Amino acid sequence: MGGGVYLAGVDAAILMTGKSAITGNFAGKLGAGVLCDGPPAWSEVSKPLLLTMVDSAVITGNTATDHGGGIYVTGKVSLDGVMCGSQTLANVTGNIPDDCYFEP
């Protein structure tokens, strides 16, 4: 799990700027590009994990066998500037089997 980046814990953050990219990663199950494993939704933690993407940063060309080819999200996570799927100017695209998966 977490082929490219595994983001977990409390107050953890990633800032992708400029032309930074997370690409070409493989995960045997979940989150090939980025796996965001935040605190449970019911927890008292006030700050979620944070993934911020600005400028031309991309998450693309990653492959997971289950969910979250680009990004897999569970728990309290804030995605700032992250656009998934077929949205115009999407910066998380071209991942297999999906660009973003949010654990129910």
Listed range (58-62, 77-81, 94-98) with the worst mean pLDDT: 77-81
Q: Would you kindly state where each structural domain of the chain is located, as residue ranges?
A: 5-102
Note whether 70 and 95 are within 8 A (CB). Answer: yes
Residue 88: predicted pLDDT? 44
Q: How far is CA 43 from CA 11, 13, 34, 76, in A?
A: 14, 18, 22, 9
Rounded mean pLDDT of 45-62?
86
pTM of the model: 0.87
Confidence band of 29 (pLDDT split at 50, 70, 90): very high
